[in-house]
Structure 1
Amino acid sequence: MAGEITETGELYSPYVGLVYMFNLIVGTGALTMPKAFATAGWLVSLVLLVFLGFMRVCDWDLTACLCPSKESFMTTTFVVEAMAAANAQLHWKRMENHQKEDDGDSSTASDSDSLLQDSHERAEKRPILSVQRRGSPNLFEITDRVEMGQMASMFFNKVGVNLFYFCIIIYLYGDLAIYAAAVPFSLMQVSCSAIDNDSCGVEAHTKHNDTDLCWGPLRRADVYHIYLAVFTLLLGPFAFFDVQKTKYLQILTSLMRWIAFAIMIVLALVRIGRGQGQGHPPLADFSGVRNLFGVCVYSFMCQHSLPSLITPVTSKRRLTRLVLLDYVLILAFYVLLSFTAVFCFRGDSLLDMYTLNFARCDVVGVAAVRFFLGLFPVFTISTNFPIIAVTLRNNWKTLFHREGGTYPWVVDRVVFPTITLMPPVLVAFCTHDLESLVGITGAYAGTGIQYVIPAFLVHCCRKDTQLAFGHGTLNKHRSPFRHTFWVGFVLLWAFSCFIFVTANIVLSETKL
């Protein structure tokens, strides 16, 4: 029943879960996508986005054909299958513990002769272990929230677990660096533009440099660093504490997000409809594909949060179809947002953070709307920064945790929060190139989380399931991509992307 409270949190319907997943995926990455589209060319961008979104894939045994499907959708189904396998193991251990307790209780109520007789009778009546397990259809029901770290501990060896946490930590560092740069950059752009454009739009098309003056003798770069220092002092201390009870704050930021996206799409369509569109994007520019790929991967990222989203869903019978529908809607939204952007604004005038293109008088005449869109990343990202920081800090603790050991107070309360906070702030101090930050984070750590980890998880969980429950055991939430071919395909795709992005970076640096 929707609204019921359990240990996994408040339960909700599948369609509410669909909305939550939509909100999770469509975030900061969507704001950097228009610039990436304009840089790589609209045709190349569309092809790559559709390829990452849709593929004609058929089951290896030709028993089913799914068209369209998703690479990210494919790995999402991998994670769901691994969650079901992990739940099966937890459920079985729980059943075994109850059985041992029942056996212990019955043995205390009988003498030694009856105890020996009962044990023989139970041994004769009890089925073989694998057959008994296979006969329990509800073992694979997803009722316990099993996070990816716990699944890695269940299915990976020690090296695999360490590599998993390393990938997660690098991704979270990238996330924090993007957030730490986006907020000061947005504040700098809005405040400096307010000073420069007193005549409302005279310098609207001027491309500013960091060395340009903003406040008196202060350069734009100086103002950015001041905002970064204020941002760090205000939100940095949250890394030293736990963040809880953010439900209503998240609801407020989600509402602001959709108001902002709706305003931007409508304004861009109105300008294009009036013939004021200035964008003439090229068909293709392969030099921009590197960042575009990273932005696309980053923009579809949700695998690391699937356990928290899927477990509270009340009915999971049509979970795969709902996830596929979610990805279709997200792809359509990204295409709409990006195409209206690249045909509304000139490619060389598009800023890394798309909302800032509307903080100009010649685009938006209403000052309140102009400042709302310009400062939109400040409000939404600022609420996410403490949550990501605490998550990263806790992952560091888990990585170095030893069974039965505790950390000294200084290590627990000072060292871990410090190593969590300082690297992303230093990166943000050195650069506010959001397109590159998103591209690199998505292309490297994002590829690991979205492709590599789910592929290894589903491969290892299938082997563990066969060993624990016997061959032929049916996982009710198994992926449609059940053949080993698809696991190898995803790993090959991830490796190819890694090589392509690295080669592109090397060539770019060589040209410079």
Structure 2
Amino acid sequence: MAGEITETGELYSPYVGLVYMFNLIVGTGALTMPKAFASAGWLVSLFLLVFLGFMSFVTTTFVVEAMAAANAQLRWKRMENRQEEDDDSSSTASDSDSLVQDSYERAEKRPILSVQRRGSPNLFEITDRVEMGQMASMFFSKVGVNLFYFCIIVYLYGDLAIYAAAVPFSLMQVSCSATGNDSCGVEADTKYNDTDLCWGRLRRVDVYRIYLAVFTLLLGPFTFFDVQKTKYLQILTSLMRWVAFTIMIVLALVRIGRGHGEGHPPLADLSGVRNLFGVCVYSFMCQHSLPSLLTPVSSKRHLTRLVFLDYVLILAFYSLLCFTAIFCFRGDSLLDMYTLNFARCDIVSAAAVRFFLGLFPVFTISTNFPIIAVTLRNNWKTLFHREGGTYPWVVDRVVFPTITLVPPVLVAFCTHDLESLVGITGAYAGTGIQYVIPAFLVYLCRRDTQLALGPRAANQHRSPFHHTFWVGFVLLWAFSCFLFVTANIVLSETKI
């Protein structure tokens, strides 16, 4: 749950942190990117991918700077408390969880040199894991904190809806193809509708909803309990992810090299930009997990450079995955979940590989669904938490888990259009988490740091984009994206 300062835990090297960050960013969004890439045209898609990657890097450096500023203020507050105890041993100790506002007044009364000594670079070392919710409570007003949690909750709902739709959709595609006339999978020119028959008289949409019901019954109960992500489970899912991505890229390259590529993507098609934008924003989402990811890094001396290297590698990987996909498959034959395109005999001859790729989202997403559900449930609790109050058992154990589980399952019941689900989640909640929240965090933390530590306090983790122009540019870009996506949705509905 966001909002608590926890122990750093086991430290790891910067390069291990780089791998963890890479694995965090490259997830489900990458599987929906090839279709969005093909629908918007390769040139427009490449430009937007690079630009959104750059914007994500900018806001990542904002979050890192805010993490350092939060550590500095917490450390300075502890130093102030210790000094007060030394000056007056008979006075009671200050509450360790009090806000830093009282310290501002003391800072204004102290000599400026005393404040500057406290503004040393070591003060900004990132040693305490200060989650996004804690930073929001430190730097935002009460309204801002509520808006922060609202944005996080909407994003997590979108995540759960995507996961709840992706697993049954993948199972439906694999099982209906296996029981069809072509036991090897989907033919190149075949376009299935939800009303097509799958099992006897059962339509494909009926099979999808049966799988959704089973998925909900099996994984839904975990929402009512506490679930912890184990280290070994993370290693297993990461290994499966990289085996699947490597197989798909190699198979697509081999097919293109043999001259069997079917794709002839256009340079640009503006009608597909809306979904591409949301998918790209979703695919670069990492800002909300940076505190738990970067705090355990043992040496943070070149942290910004390592993050930049990570983004370059991720851009290269996304480009390789998407370009091999759009030149290997025709744009109208690309499925929402890219792994399902490899269910054809002429692509993969080995049945085991076909089933592994087809069921790959089932394994990886199923392990993440309970964790995200518990995170969403805990954020609901934090949003409505009252100081010193506790929830009744029914509210704590029944109401919060129910309002967590039911809405995404209902959305998945109504639609399995993964590209649209990812696009909308990324375009709205993703814009808030990736652009708006980091921009306000860094702006307000700079103001509060100057009040508490003086204008010359040196933050060694300061963002390279430290000019106020970049904060305004990120907010302007976020607002423009919101208007653009909303206008496109309205126009699309009007045409229908």
Whole-angstrom distance in 1 between the partners of 2:219 and 2:101: 67
After TM superposition, give the deviation of residue 133 of structure 1 in Å: 5.0
Give CA deviations for 1:152-175 in whole Å, capped at 9, x if unaligned.
000000111111111110000000
Q: CA deviation at 1:113?
A: 33
Cα distance in 1 for residues equivalent to 2:122 and 2:300: 12
Cα pair 1:204 1:361 within 8 Å, conserved? no
Q: Look at both structures and tell me which one has the larger radius of gyration over its CA atoms.
A: 1
Alpha carbons of structure 1 residues 367 and 88: separation in structure 2 relative to 1, 3 Å: same
Structure 1 spans left out of the alignment, 5+ residues: 56-71
Change in CA separation of 1:120 and 1:50 when aligned onto 2, cut-off 3 Å: closer
CA distance in 2, matches of 1:453, 1:119: 25
Range moving further from structure 2, 197-206 or 354-363: 197-206
**In the TM superposition, what whole-angstrom CA distance separates every residue of 1:153-210 from its partner, at most 9, and x where no partner exists?**
0000011111111111000000000000000000000000001144535745311000
Change (3 A) 1:138 1:218: same
* 8 Å contact from structure 2 (residues 178, 185) kept in 1: no
Deviation track 1:104-131 (CA, whole Å, cap 9, x = no partner) reads 5489999999999999999999855862
C-alpha distance in structure 2 between counterparts of 1:351 and 1:233, whole Å? 27
Work out whether residues 119 and 453 of structure 2, in 8 Å CA contact, stay in contact via their aligned partners in 1: no
SS in 1 for 2:267: coil
Asked if structure 1 preserves the Cα contact closer than 8 Å seen for 2:187 and 2:344, the reply is: no
Check the 8 A contact 1:3/1:11 in 2, yes or no: no
Cα distance in 2, alignment partners of residues 113 and 265 from structure 1: 50
Taking the aligned partners of 1:363 and 1:86, their CA distance within structure 2 comes to 52
8 Å contact 1:197–1:203 — kept in the other structure?
no
For 1:111 and 1:330, the matched residues in 2 are separated by 44
Residue 381 of structure 1 aligns to a residue in which SS? Answer: helix
Instruction: Give the CA RMSD over aligned residues.
Output: 5.1
* SS state at 2:268 partner: coil
Decide whether aligned partners of structure 1 residues 453 and 276 sit closer, same or farther in structure 2, where only a CA change above 3 A counts.
same
The alpha carbon displacement at 1:362 in A equals: 2.0
Q: Distance in 1 between matches of 2:104 and 2:221?
A: 62
Note closer, same or farther for the CA distance 1:122–1:291 as it changes in structure 2 (3 Å cut).
closer
Change (3 A) 1:365 1:483: same
Could you say if the C-alpha distance between residues 369 and 485 of structure 1 is closer, same or farther in structure 2, counting changes exceeding 3 Å?
same
Deviates more, 1:325-334 or 1:6-15: 6-15
Q: Distance in 2 between matches of 1:393 and 1:114?
A: 26
Deviations 1:73-120 (A, max 9, x none): 110000000000100111112222323344454899999999999999
Give the distance between the partners of 1:7 and 1:240, measured in 2 at CA. 26
1:236 and 1:2 map into 2 onto residues whose CA distance is 22
Structure 1 residues 363 and 96 mapped into 2: Cα distance closer, same or farther (>3 Å)?
same
Deviations 1:258-293 (A, max 9, x none): 000000000000000001101111111110000000
Superposed, 1:16-415 pairs within 5 Å as 16-54=16-54, 72-105=56-89, 131=115, 134-200=118-184, 203-415=187-399
After TM superposition, give the deviation of residue 132 of structure 1 in Å: 5.1
C-alpha contact (below 8 Å) 2:2/2:131 kept by paired residues: no
Task: Give the Cα–Cα distance (whole angstroms) in 2 for the partners of residues 114 and 405 of structure 1.
Answer: 18
- Measure, in 1, the Cα distance between the counterparts of 2:20 and 2:101: 56
Going from structure 1 to structure 2, the CA distance change for 1:150 and 1:130 (only over 3 Å counts) comes to farther
* Cα separation, partners in 2 of 1:116 and 1:405, compared to 1, 3 Å: closer
Segment drifting more, 259-268 vs 465-474: 465-474
TM-score, normalised by the number of residues in structure 1? 0.91
CA 310–199 in structure 1, closer or farther in 2 if over 3 Å, else same: closer
How many Å separate the matches in 1 of 2:215 and 2:101?
72
Alpha-carbon distance in structure 1 between the residues aligned to 2:374 and 2:6? 24
Deviation at 1:8, TM superposition (A): 1.2
> Whole-Å Cα distance in 2 between the matches of residues 505 and 123 of structure 1?
51
**Residues in 1 aligned to 2:2 and 2:149: alpha-carbon distance in whole angstroms:** 34
Change (3 A) 1:3 1:127: closer
Q: Deviations over 1:33-67 (max 9, x none)?
A: 00001111111111111222348xxxxxxxxxxxx
Query: Do the aligned residues in 1 keep the contact of 2:6 with 2:128 (CA within 8 Å)?
Result: no
Deviates more, 1:100-109 or 1:88-97: 100-109
Report the Cα distance in structure 2 between the residues aligned to 1:90 and 1:117, rounded to whole angstroms. 12
Equivalents in 2 of 1:231, 1:460: separation in Å?
A: 43
Contact kept? 1:107, 1:115, Cα under 8 Å: no
Question: Is the Cα contact below 8 Å between 1:204 and 1:362 reproduced in 2?
Answer: no
Higher mean alpha-carbon deviation, 138-147 vs 202-211, is at 202-211
Q: Percent identity?
A: 90
The answer to whether the Cα contact below 8 Å between 2:76 and 2:118 also exists between their aligned partners in 1 is no
Distance in 1 (alpha carbons) for counterparts of 2:237 and 2:490: 39
C-alpha spacing 1:199/1:418, structure 2 compared with 1 (3 Å): closer
**Secondary structure of 1:206's match?**
coil
Report if aligned partners of 2:53, 2:315 keep a CA contact under 8 Å in 1: yes
Q: Distance in 2 between matches of 1:120 and 1:370?
A: 62
Superposition deviation, residue 363 in structure 1: 1.2
Deviation string for 1:219-267 (max 9, x for gaps)? Answer: 0000000000000011111111111252111110000000000000000
In the superposition, relative to structure 1, how do residues 117 and 146 fare at CA in structure 2: closer, same or farther (>3 Å)? closer
Shift in alpha-carbon separation, 1:232–1:502, aligned structure 2, 3 A = same
TM-aligned CA distance change 1:111 to 1:161, over 3 Å: closer
Instruction: Show CA shifts across 1:385-438 (max 9, x none).
Output: 011001101100000001111100100010000000000000000000000000
* Contact 2:85 2:91 (C-alpha < 8 Å) held by counterparts: no
For residues 7 and 113 of structure 1, what CA distance do their matches in structure 2 show?
Answer: 15
- Taking a change above 3 Å as real, the CA distance of residues 403 and 192 of structure 1, as seen in their structure-2 partners, is same
Distance 1:498 1:122, change over 3 A: closer
Contact 1:167 1:449 in 2 (8 A): yes
Cα distance, 1:113–1:183 mapped onto 2, change above 3 Å: closer
Give the CA deviation at 1:137. 3.0
